[in-house]
Amino acid sequence: MALPLTTHARAKVNLDLRILGRRADGYHELESLVAFAGVGDELTLEPDAPLSLSIAGPRAAGLSPKDDNLVLRAARALATARSGLRLGRFHLVKRLPVASGIGGGSADAAAALRLVARLNGIAQTDPVLLDVAGKVGADVPVCLDSRARLMAGVGERLGPVLRLPPLFAVLVNPGVAVETASVFRALGLKPGQQIAVSRTAPAPDSMSAGEFLEALAASENDLAAPARRVAPAIDEVLERLAGLPGCRLARMSGSGATCFALFDDCRASVEAARTLAKARRGWWVKPTLLR
């Protein structure tokens, strides 16, 4: 009997996010510098059992293991694209908040693709994985290898892997689920409307941590304003993060409501997380390293 396979589904953090416009088909064109956190979910695959999913963990409440779950959708999509694949029983330990702007569902779907690929000897570089990932969800392609890079288009265009300086962060979610579609509706762009032009990809490999933080501070997340109208709790999160000792930058990730703060070192980020967790005990607060 084959041993179970396990992988981590790391949280995706949008260090910045620019909306370039809305295409005629209704999809929004974006650019985002993406990094990945040390915290995340865990997905296990028991080979050759009937395809199914069970969910446990501190953030499992309200999640359905039925067919519309992204883990099962991803596994089925890959099996459709390449016939004869071995599948199995998935078990998800859910630690990331849902509908929170850090790609928890997308990371889980990407993890499912990695596990099925590993079970069937499909190389990580096989184009079928990227093609299926894009069909499952906009953030799934960048979550496949979970390494820092620039993503563009609707998520299907990925730049080269970037080597970021150490980014000591605190991730915070106030317990408010934010529907991405609601944020885009609040943004209010009409089909065909363009609002920005593409930029040159950053070169963090040649920057010190301080230089990179300064360059990052000059960018922004274009979805922050509409997300704050949809979920006003984001205002308090950003205000509290910005007020923490040593905070160099406080910003929202994705379409919210998770926000992050960056610090100069691990000690500062851990102490800031401890302080905030005591002040707001109902919030999800995690110190982590982004890379």
Residue numbers annotated as active site: 12, 139
Maximum Cα interatomic distance, the chain, rounded to a whole number of Å: 56
Neighbours of 238 (CB within 10 A): 20
How far apart (Å, rounded) are the C-alpha atoms in residues 269 and 148? 20
Residue 196 — φ and ψ, nearest 5°? -155, 170
What 3 state SS string does the chain have? CCCCEEEEEEEEEECCEEEEEECCCCCEEEEEEEEEEEEEEEEEEEECCCCEEEEECCCCCCCCCCCCCHHHHHHHHHHHHCCCCCCEEEEEECCCCCCCCCCHHHHHHHHHHHHHHHHCCCCCCCHHHHHHHHHHCCCHHHHCCCCCEEEEECCCEECCCCCCCCEEEEEEECCCCCCHHHHHHHHCCCCCCECCCCCCCCCHHHCCHHHHHHHHHCCCECCHHHHHHHCCHHHHHHHHHHCCCCCCEEEECCCCCCEEEEECCHHHHHHHHHHHHHHCCCCEEEEEEEC
How far apart (Å, rounded) are the C-alpha atoms in residues 216 and 209? 10
